[in-house]
């Protein structure tokens, strides 16, 4: 691979280091500013000469993470307008056409970017994969349902990035007919949604969802309720035309107030049931056009059945949200019974959770209940629905507890393992994260990208699950199945 490559818009100069060529900050769409701020993504402008592609481009407008998550989740801010960009890592040596993996970052649809250090694609490039990452519009600009703008602009950005990959990845040694799209959290919810969007059909051939599935899909009526609250905060009607005069900082401040209210427990009368269930305010909307059906209904109808799916969760997702904040330590039995009961966990379920976790505190048990309700059960529902339609799905669980801050096997703790980039993810994974698990997860993801088979049995009625845990990864059947069945009863 030369340091200079040619794509549809012009020539690019990247950097080569340790056998990996990296090309960063490549526009896949025009800058979403001015009249394009709330428009569907438009083609990028061509350039003359050689464009420097040795540094990440600007990041999308976003708020900082709230403390203490801001100390745990790196979220770089790079100023500038031209932030609908992709980054490409590929082997520097020429060779046969390579499988492509396209990463969609998480961040609850309001945070994150492709510039997070843990997302460096060098290990994938080292192992014969062309790794692409992307930025997309977030928050109000990406997901608010405006009456005079296309819905799901953030998802349309993702589709535009995938189309750019189809048209240009061969220049980097990638095979456009062997593309795997993968993401974590909101990125994984995006992947699940893309699986059912007509405009995304044919742009990827395999999919991986890490800690995210069908949790985020708002009805238009509920999305309009969110818009009404936004109008209250901004003091006027909320349309793309009106918002064009509102600066990003003001918009993000209002967005942050809404997000905080929703994450603290949205009132369904104020925000609607679909927003309350998602626990996020700015999410994909089932608009009947770009997203014709709720992803769960579409999957049950067989949409996306021809795309092999690798899906799963961490064993203790909710510890990220309960432990560093101190919430877990304040939960007592009374609070546990109340909060778990609101989610449908009665005495029988809590008794079973306690028996399976000797010595667990009420905060630990609440985390386990929330992990299942918001992450594990939705992922299993997708796998089971796909099984009925004949689709192939593989299920995993990440179960290595982090030594950092008592986080356990929490949300996002697996990312450094998947990218074989543990040093960059030490705030989450701990400084002593076992390399053997990174070797296993990373190689499974690479194998899936090459073959559509990560190396363990596909999901069926026996519930085979690859558990990436110590002392070594192993296949288990129906992990905590008695708890799953108790909820079903």
Catalytic residue set:
185, 317, 411
- Cβ neighbours for 102, distance < 8 A, ≥ 6 positions apart: 132, 133, 134, 161, 162, 165, 179, 180, 181, 182, 204
Using an 8 Å Cβ cutoff, are 25 and 51 in contact?
no
Using an 8 Å Cβ cutoff, are 376 and 409 in contact?
no
Measured CA to CA, the distance from residue 456 to residue 454 in angstroms comes to 6
Identify the three-state secondary structure at position 105: coil
Structure tokens at 378: 């939705």
DSSP 43: P
Structure tokens at 423: 């040093």
Tell which residue, 137, 153, 65, 64, has the closest CA to residue 105: 137
Structure tokens at 471: 């002392």
For 28, list phi and psi in degrees, rounded to 5.
Answer: -105, -10
Structure tokens at 120: 């460096």
Measured CA to CA, the distance from residue 326 to residue 69 in angstroms comes to 12
Structure tokens at 253: 């401040």
């Amino acid at each position: 691979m030369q340091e200079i490559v040619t794509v549809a818009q012009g020539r690019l100069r990247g950097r080569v280091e340790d056998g990996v060529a990296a090309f960063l900050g490549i526009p896949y769409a025009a800058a979403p500013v001015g009249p394009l701020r709330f428009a569907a993504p438009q083609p990028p402008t061509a350039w003359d000469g050689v464009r420097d592609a040795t540094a990440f481009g600007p990041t999308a407008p976003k708020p900082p993470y709230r403390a203490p998550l801001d100390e745990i989740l790196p979220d770089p801010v790079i100023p500038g307008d031209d932030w609908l960009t992709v980054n490409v890592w590929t082997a520097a040596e020429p060779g046969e056409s390579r499988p492509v993996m396209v990463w969609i970052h998480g961040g609850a649809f309001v945070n994150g970017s492709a510039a997070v250090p843990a997302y460096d694609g060098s290990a994938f490039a080292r192992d014969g994969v062309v790794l692409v990452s992307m930025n997309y519009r977030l928050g109000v600009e990406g997901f608010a349902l405006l009456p005079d703008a296309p819905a799901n602009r953030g998802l349309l950005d993702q589709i535009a990035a995938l189309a750019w990959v189809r048209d240009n990845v061969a220049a980097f040694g990638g095979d456009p007919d062997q593309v795997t799209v993968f993401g974590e959290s909101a990125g994984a919810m995006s992947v699940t949604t893309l699986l059912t969007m007509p405009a995304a059909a044919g742009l990827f051939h395999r999919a991986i969802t890490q800690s995210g599935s069908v949790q985020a899909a708002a009805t238009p009526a509920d999305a309009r309720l969110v818009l009404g609250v936004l109008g209250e905060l901004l003091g006027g009607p909320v349309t793309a035309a009106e918002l064009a005069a509102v600066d990003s900082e003001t918009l993000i401040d209002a967005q942050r107030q809404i997000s905080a209210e929703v994450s603290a427990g949205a009132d369904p009368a104020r925000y609607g049931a679909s927003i309350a269930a998602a626990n996020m305010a700015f999410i994909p909307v089932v608009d009947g056009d770009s997203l014709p059906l709720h992803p769960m209904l579409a999957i049950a109808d067989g949409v996306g059945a021809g795309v092999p799916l690798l899906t799963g969760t961490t064993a203790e997702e909710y510890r990220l949200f309960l432990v560093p904040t101190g919430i877990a330590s304040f939960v007592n039995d009374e609070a546990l019974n109340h909060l778990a009961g609101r989610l449908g966990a009665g005495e029988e379920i809590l008794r079973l959770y306690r028996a399976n976790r000797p010595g667990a505190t009420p905060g630990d048990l609440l985390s386990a209940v929330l992990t299942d309700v918001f992450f594990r059960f939705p992922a299993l529902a997708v796998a089971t629905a796909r099984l009925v339609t004949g689709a192939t799905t593989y299920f995993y669980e990440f179960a290595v507890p982090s030594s950092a801050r008592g986080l356990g096997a929490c949300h996002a703790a697996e990312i450094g393992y998947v990218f074989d980039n543990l040093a960059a993810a030490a705030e989450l994974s701990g400084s002593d994260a076992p390399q053997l698990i990174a070797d296993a997860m990373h190689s499974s993801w690479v194998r899936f990208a090459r073959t559509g088979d990560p190396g363990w049995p596909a999901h069926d009625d026996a519930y085979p699950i690859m558990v990436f845990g110590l002392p070594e990864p192993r296949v288990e059947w129906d992990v905590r199945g008695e708890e799953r069945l108790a909820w079903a009863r």
